[in-house]
Every structure is written in structure tokens, then in C-alpha cells.
Amino acid sequence: MLKNYQEAIDYIHSLPKFHRTNKLDRIKSALEKLDNPQNDYPTIHVTGTNGKGSTCNYLSNLLEADNLRVGMFTSPFIKVFNERIQISHQMINDADLLRLTNKIIDCIDEMELSEFEFVTCLGFLYFSGRVDVAIIEVGIGAAHDKTNVITPDVSVITSIEMDHEQIIGPTIQDIAIEKSGIIKQNVPLVTGYLPGTVRGIVLNKAKELDSQVFEYDHNLKIKNLVIDDFKIHFDFGDVKIECNGIEKTSAINAAISIQAFICFENKHGRKFDLPEIVSHIELNEIPARLQIVQNNPLIILDGAHNLAAIDNLINSLITNEPNKDIIVLYAGMKDKNRHDILHLLAKNTKQIFVTSLDMPRAAKADDYDLSKFPNVSYINNYRKYLDDHVQSLKSNQILLITGSFYLVSELESYFA
């Protein structure tokens, strides 16, 4: 039996990251041994290439504003593991995490789960008897993701773009097929923008399963969008919405969340005052999403880690701060399209400092060819770089730290 919280965390992290099969048999068997806690409460299932975390957070804020106890299962964490499992924005406490970890170990006997399978069981078990609804964010994909053992009240696809091609690709059509696995029979689907190359895949799957679709830019629209001074304003129907940010995608994610909230409330016959509810959409914020840690000069932490997310982020920064030079501290993973990301950054920013993290997936110096980029250089010690350069930043400069949630996690405490 594990004796303390740290032993529980060490045990979880010692589990294999992946199994050779992508089938759901193992986690289904484990959940049966735990009396299927995932069936004890309504759920909302969220997938998408980008925007999952923000959408889950917006949605939780809306549901909490209607006096519901809301479970939220997300990844990755920024500061502590417990962030991944929350109820109404309160993290699972250390004692419950230890107790439930031991319970799962006892119940599953010798069955070896992957780390994500185990954590998924932990989240489902913790929410049982404690929540009115749980928002479940997928790990990767949807159809074969270990969270795909639920029949939700609402399914959400925030976006479909290129990422994790080695696992759920290689083409965007493959990715769309995988993410369409979140669609369930007679369960409404809320989506962000669907590229024309994959829109038919999603809509055909929804039609096959009699799933009503609320699709951004079709029957789900935002009007009168204004972005100014890191604030976003738009109209959702006749309701005025305000949230923080500089990217149009943030407005889309907010609209997706509002529509998912409406679908859930309607399913359960709940009456609500939408203008009052949406005034709470920013009640709780999450770190590493356009997180401003210093205002003058501006320093931003953002966990954008694929080409689409970084493209949105950089273009939005340029649009909102056209007279400022952007300096980037970047760390990427080996499985990301680092060359295209650096090509984009090099064209649109003043200077890029590439660094690495102390983890197997992180790209190291010899994984990059920086000779093609005159404004890109490699640094070994990113903390020393910050020690030497933060104080010398000028008012017309922005320091953007991005490329990986792990880098942002490492540095969030630096600016605390």
C-alpha cells in the first residue's frame, strides 16, 4: 500500500506511457472492477486539436454559475498533478488522491494500466457522488482515447488541425475520423470551425448517428467581434459577451462553450438566465493561455505547441501590438513540426531563442538546423537567459515564452 501522496504520484508516473494496442478493453475492464463510476453522473466530452483547455474552463464557469457542482478532467497540468482533476475549480486534495490511488491498485489486481488509463480511472472515481456533471477532456484523438468509455450529454470538437500525426494521422482526414469518434447516437455535437477538407467526415458521422450539429460559422455564429487591449467582445445571438484574449479562436471557444451549456441545460429541462450566466464566463482563469506575467514590458506565457496554435498566437499579437518587436523563447518536442514552426516565427518575430527541456520527448540542440534562420539561436540555460535579459527588455518589446506546456510549467514560478 502506498503510504503518502508523493508515493502515489511516483507510482502513477512509473506506469507505461502507452500500450501497444489502442483498444479500450483494458480501461473498460478496470472500470468494471471499480463499478463503472463514469456512469454515475452526466458528462460532456471535449476533443479538438486546439482550444480544449480553454473551452473546458469556460464551460465549467458557465455551469458553476448555474449552481452546479462541475467536475473537470483535463491535461496537462502546469504546477501540480492535482490540477488535472477538479471539482468547481478546486483540485483533488492529496489525501483523496492517495486513497483513491490505493483503491484502484487494490481493485484492478495485477492488471497493468498505462499512466493515462490509470489517471482517467482516478478522475472518474473521484467525481462519483460528488458532481452534478463532469467535463471530460480527451488525451489524444477521441475514438481510441481512453476517456471514450462514456456516453455524454453533449460532445464537443473545438478544432481539427494537424497535430499528433504520428499517432492519429498521418493526414488531416485521418485526424478527423479519429476525432469524430467522440460523436454518439442522438447526442448533440458542438464544433468549432471545420476545414472544408474534413467537414464532410464529421457531418456524415453525425448524420449517421442522428446527432444534432451546432457548427461554428453555420448555425453557430458570433457577431460584432471586437478585440482591443487584450479584451474580446462579441454578440452571441442577442447576448453580449466579454472575455480576455487577443485571438478570434478565443471568441470561438467561448461561443462553443455557451452552446454546449445551452445543450446540456435543455437536455435536463433547466431554466437559465443566459445574460447573467455568461457574465461569469471568466470567473476562473487557467494558466498558460495568453498568461501575462509582466505588463511593462510585456511578458506572456502561452502553451501553444503546434503550428496552428502558434500561427494564431503570433498573428494575433502582431495585429494587436503592431508597433512592438516580439522576442520568443521557444522549446519544442521531437514529435512536433519544429521546422515549420521556426520558419513561421522567424518571419514574424524579431528574435527567437530556442532551448530544451530535461525530458526524453524534448528536442535537443542537435535536433534543430538553425543555419537557415539568421534571427534564431540556441541557448542551453533558459533560466540564465531570463536572469540576464528580462531586466533589459524595452517598452517596445514583447517577450513570448511558448512552444510547450512543460516549458511554461517550468517558468510560471519564475515570474510569481
Q: Can you give the three-state secondary structure of 283-297, one letter per residue?
A: CCCCCCCCEEEECCC
pLDDT tens-digit profile of 308-331? 999 999 999 999 999 999 999 999
Can you give the pLDDT at residue 33?
97
Answer yes or no: is pLDDT of 15 > 70: yes
C-alpha 162/C-alpha 164 separation (Å) is: 7
Q: Per-residue pLDDT averaged across 176-181, rounded?
A: 96
Helix (H, G, I), strand (E, B) or coil at 229: coil
C-alpha 202/C-alpha 272 separation (Å) is: 30
Answer yes or no: is pLDDT of 397 > 90: yes
Can you give the pLDDT at residue 19?
67
pLDDT tens-digit profile of 73-112? 999 898 899 999 999 999 999 999 999 999 999 999 888 8
Whole-number percent of the chain with pLDDT over 70: 98
Can you give the pLDDT at residue 166?
67
How buried is residue 207: exposed, middle or buried, by Cβ count under 10 Å (0-12/13-18/19+)?
exposed
Domains belonging to the chain, first-starting first, are 5-278 (3.40.1190.10), 291-415 (3.90.190.20)
Per-residue cell: 395: 517598452
Can you give the pLDDT at residue 361?
87
Can you give the pLDDT at residue 167?
73
Neighbours of 173 (CB within 10 A): 14
pLDDT tens-digit profile of 275-290? 999 999 999 998 888 9
pLDDT tens-digit profile of 351-361? 999 999 998 88
Q: Per-residue pLDDT averaged across 135-154, rounded?
A: 96
Residue recorded with cell 485521418: 174
pLDDT tens-digit profile of 188-230? 999 999 999 999 999 999 999 999 999 999 999 999 999 999 9
Q: Per-residue pLDDT averaged across 25-46, rounded?
A: 97
Distance of CA 88 to the CA centre of its chain: 17
Side chain identity at 26, as an amino acid letter?
R
Neighbours of 256 (CB within 10 A): 28
At 32, the pLDDT band (50, 70, 90 cuts) reads very high
Can you give the pLDDT at residue 181?
96
Average pLDDT, the chain: 94
Can you give the pLDDT at residue 413?
86
pLDDT tens-digit profile of 238-274? 999 999 999 999 999 999 999 999 999 999 999 999 9
Answer yes or no: is pLDDT of 118 > 80: yes
CB-based contacts of 14, cutoff 8 Å, min separation 6: none
**Contact criterion met (CB below 8 Å) for 258 and 275:** no
